[in-house]
Amino acid sequence: MEIAVVGNSDFILGFRLAGVEKTVAAEDDASLTDAVTRLMADETVAILVIRSSDMGTPS
């Protein structure tokens, strides 16, 4: 099982430096939606990390 991280390039950089191999840069809403959909269907992904602001939740 793997950890996957989705977000803008600044957000995923720290995770890449920490050794997380499955990172996806998504700079706009369409690419973010596509990346999350693909990773949710990926059976090797156990944990998906995404910023709460990217989820559309109110602050």
Number of domains into which the chain is organized: 1
What does pTM read for this prediction? 0.86
Q: Domain range for residue 14?
A: 2-44
Mean pLDDT of each 10-residue bin along the chain, 59 residues long = 96 96 94 95 97 74
Q: Is residue 13 part of a domain?
A: yes
Q: Closest Cα to residue 21, out of 39, 34, 37?
A: 39
Q: Is residue 53 part of a domain?
A: no
b/e burial code for range 31-53 (CB count within 10 A of at least 16 → b): ebeebbeebeeeeeeeebebeee
CA distance 36 to 50: 9
Q: Is residue 51 part of a domain?
A: no
